[in-house]
Amino acid sequence: MSHVSKAHPAPMEKLFFQLANTRQMMSLMEKDILGAANTFIYDKTDWVKLWFDPDHAVTSDCGTITAYRAITIQGQLLWYVFGAGKSRGYHATCADPFAAMAEAQDVWARRKYIKTEWAFVETLARDLRLGKRKLEVRIEDAHASPLCTLGIEGFMASVGLKGVRKISGRIAGLLMKIEPQLGFVIFQAWQREQAQQAHTSADSAALSA
């Protein structure tokens, strides 16, 4: 599998047994053997460090999406979802694999749309870095964007922003130099601001009517 990271940390037995226990139709002995066999694959794409089980997979009815059972190095179970032709997966924390695949499809569709506006996103980020425009970027914008929650948390922790609720547009623009996908969050913040301004204008017009 081309998307798999070959470098990985030392085996983490507790996580392996926890991941093995999610297998269906296996005896406890078989699960113990699986957990001790170190057959899981390590991956650290998009700021999420995890192990996934290549043999515990659910495929969509259309046959183009596959969800692999996985566990982060912190011990959180998830589904690692891949679409046909996609080298990067989506990290879904919901328990149901079909819900995870539906969530991934929605996210991929939203990303596809925003990428048609990417020239605007890059211009906006540049203007924010240069101080030509102002924009407050909130954690709510990140969670409303088409990025996974685990990836958001991993990135914020990596850049020293764990627990921070909002940052300036200038900082967000600078961070986009490190992680281009932050452009999705900046675009979400811009959309929120535009909606707020439209709502304020509508209220003002109603009052003056």
Overall domain count for the chain: 2
Could you read off the pLDDT of 5-25 as tens digits, one per residue? 444 545 578 888 888 888 876
Residues 81 and 141 in one domain: no
- Give the rounded distance of the alpha carbon of 83 from its chain centre: 15
CA–CA dist 104, 17 (Å, integer)? 27
Residues 74 and 154 in one domain: no
pTM of the entire predicted model: 0.84
Mean pLDDT across the chain, nearest whole number? 88
Predicted confidence (pLDDT) at residue 124 exceeds the cutoff of 80: yes
66: closest CA among 49, 89, 46?
89
Residues 99 and 129 in one domain: no
Domain of residue 161 covers 117-197
pLDDT, residue 24, reads 74
pLDDT, residue 197, reads 86
Residue with structure tokens 């899981």?
Answer: 40
Residues 67 and 135 in one domain: no
Return the amino acid letter for 21: N
Q: Alpha-carbon Rg of the chain, whole angstroms?
A: 20
Query: Among 36-50, 56-70, 180-194, which stretch is predicted with the lowest mean pLDDT?
Result: 36-50
159 inside domain: yes
